[in-house]
Structure 1
Amino acid sequence: MTYVDGLVIPVRAGTDSAGYARFAEAIAPIFRDHGATRVVEGWADDVPDGKQTDFRRAIQAGDGETVVFSWIEWPDKATRDMGMAKVRADPRMVSTGVEMPIDGARMIFGGFQVVLDC
């Protein structure tokens, strides 16, 4: 059954969508090489402020920062677990040749079992 890693990512001020896309394009193949079937990156376009919480508050986005909503699809949880271990150990994750425009300490992520895909 399909397994998904979901991420809400704070992108540093001064980074535009093209700059973020260069970073994402550099790391997406690493996930694909280790079993991911799809990597999707969504640049904030219509992200309203909420009354109690919202995407920006969830990642403590500062002035000028933006939000990226991302997901990585895997064939199943076992493939994801093995693949993520390989991704973490892959030397390309350390040196992509592209500046990392995110604050990983405030990134929110988690794994999810797909219960509906229509």
Structure 2
Amino acid sequence: MTYVDGMIAAVPTARKDDYRAHAEQAAVVFKRHGALSLVDCWGDDVPEGETNSMRSAVLLKPDETVVFSWIIWPDKATRDAGVAKVMADPEMAPETNPMPFDGKRLIFGGFQKIFEA
């Protein structure tokens, strides 16, 4: 069954082009290791919440934008093996493809799909 990795991050607004280049390079590596598709979305309408929000979850600063991303995998086993390979892949090393954002504020998780319309 399809497995999804979901992520949100705070990216410096001035580094949008750097983020896109990073995402494009990472997509090649993730697909090589089993991912079916990757989607990265630049925040356009991300309101403050009454109790919590995407903005507060990533500790958004005034000069940053929330990015919402997901990776589709064929199944969890492929995802687990693929992520291990991605993390060991030299093309994902910080000196080769540096993250243009604070990775400590990246929020991610794996999800089993239960419904799709």
Give the TM-score normalised by structure 1: 0.92
Q: In the alignment, which residue of structure 2 is the partner of 1:4?
A: 4
Using the TM superposition, name which of 40-49 and 93-102 deviates more: 93-102
- Please list every run of 5 or more consecutive structure 2 residues that lacks an aligned counterpart in the other structure: none
Q: Report the alpha carbon displacement of residue 36 of structure 1 after superposing the two structures with TM.
A: 0.2
Counterpart code for 1:59: V
Distance 1:41 1:72, change over 3 A: same
Any conservation in 1 of the 2:37–2:73 contact (CA below 8 Å)?
yes
C-alpha RMSD over aligned residues: 1.4
- Is 2:103 the partner of 1:89? no
- Counterparts in 2 of 1:88-107, with a 5 A limit? 88-94=87-93, 97-107=96-106
**1:14 CA displacement:** 2.2
Q: What is the Cα deviation at residue 90 of structure 1?
A: 0.5
Count, aligned residues: 117
> Aligned partners of 2:73 and 2:46: how far apart in 1?
27
Shift of 1:10: 1.3
Is the 2:91–2:97 Cα contact (8 Å) retained in structure 1? no
CA deviation after TM superposition for structure 1 residue 6, in Å: 0.3
Q: Which runs of 4+ in 1 moved over 4 A?
A: 95-99
Residue 43 in 1 paired to residue 36 in 2? Answer: no
- Alpha-carbon shift at residue 26 of structure 1 (Å): 1.1
Q: Report how far residue 93 of structure 1 moved.
A: 0.4
Query: Which moves more between the two structures, 29-38 or 4-13?
Result: 4-13
Q: Which amino acid aligns with 1:48?
A: P
Q: Distance in 2 between matches of 1:79 and 1:100?
A: 24
Gaps of 5+ in 1: none
Hey, what's the Cα distance between the residues in 1 that align with 2:75 and 2:95?
27
With structure 2 as the length reference, what TM-score do the two structures score? 0.93
CA distance in 2, matches of 1:81, 1:92: 18
Change (3 A) 1:81 1:88: same
Q: Secondary structure at the match of 1:11?
A: strand
AA matched with 1:19: D
